[in-house]
Amino acid sequence: MPQGTLPTSLPADNTPKTYSGTKLVTYILAVGATGIVPPTTLTNVAAVAAAANTLTLRAAADTFIPSGSTLTFGTAQVITTADVTATAAGAAVAIQPAATPIAANATATYTNLLEVPVAEESNPTLTDQEETINVHGRITPIRVVNGKDMTATIRTLGGIDDPVVKRLITRGMSISPNNRERIIWLYPDGFALLATVNIGAPTRQAAAGNSQRVQVSANLSGGLFWANLNDPTPIWEAVNGN
């Protein structure tokens, strides 16, 4: 029997770019973060045309959004080019020219916890920096030299078109202190680790099937903290040589 033509209107669809390939989740804190912003709904107040360079954002509670943040409204993404605090009344923010129109009342979810996508490997390792002697056949620490140290390898299957991977590569291509990041590792049992690290030079890898990998090192360069999220009121505890 005769067939009709294909529908000319395509349904909206989008493959999520932020998900983890391991139960250990790795986050990068947004630049300049002084606290953790949980997932917050942002509403686009008025319709935005393609190529527009401003939009107005509304949030139930005041939410600081730094410049360079990527916001996804359905299948449309915009990148902010100035700091803004979204309020219940709405606040205008400068953006890179919008690639596609954004409808009024479209929503995006913002958090300053940026997940490393498809984290194939992420293995923070803490070591003791102590001087030891052998007493009666047992290794005994006698003096703390540098306290605790930490190194980590982060390997992701995400490409440079992902904003978090791009940021890791950009930091890794810079020298200290411009390669500094604050990273949070969250384990499925509720253990969390927060560290200020230097990101090492990225290693680009390939494998069968043309999959791509980006691998960087993360070496402790500042404070190191841990928290137990099972506690009634979790707090960050400093890790040191005391």
Give the residue among 226, 214, 216, 133 at the shortest CA–CA distance from 185.
226
Query: Do residues 126 and 218 touch, judged by C-beta distance below 8 A?
Result: no
Q: Which CATH architecture has domain 119-238?
A: Roll (2.30)
* pLDDT attached to residue 16: 62
pLDDT, tens digit only, all 242 positions of the chain: 677 788 888 787 766 665 566 788 999 998 778 889 889 999 999 999 999 999 999 999 999 999 888 899 988 889 999 999 999 999 999 999 998 999 999 999 999 999 998 888 899 999 887 777 787 878 776 766 667 889 999 999 888 888 899 999 999 999 988 999 999 999 999 999 999 999 999 998 776 666 678 999 999 988 899 999 999 999 999 997 44
Strands (E), the chain: 25-29, 40-44, 54-58, 63-65, 70-73, 76-79, 84-86, 91-94, 107-110, 113-115, 119-122, 125-135, 138-156, 180-186, 191-199, 203-206, 212-228, 237-238
* pLDDT attached to residue 32: 76
How far, in Å, CA of 60 to CA of 62, rounded? 7
How far, in Å, CA of 196 to CA of 145, rounded? 20
Taking the whole predicted model, whether its pTM rises above 0.75 is answered as yes
How far, in Å, CA of 60 to CA of 146, rounded? 46
What are the φ/ψ torsions at residue 190 (nearest 5 degrees)? 105, 0
* pLDDT attached to residue 161: 83
Residues 6+ apart with CB under 8 A from 27: 113, 114, 115, 116, 183, 184, 185, 186
* pLDDT attached to residue 207: 65
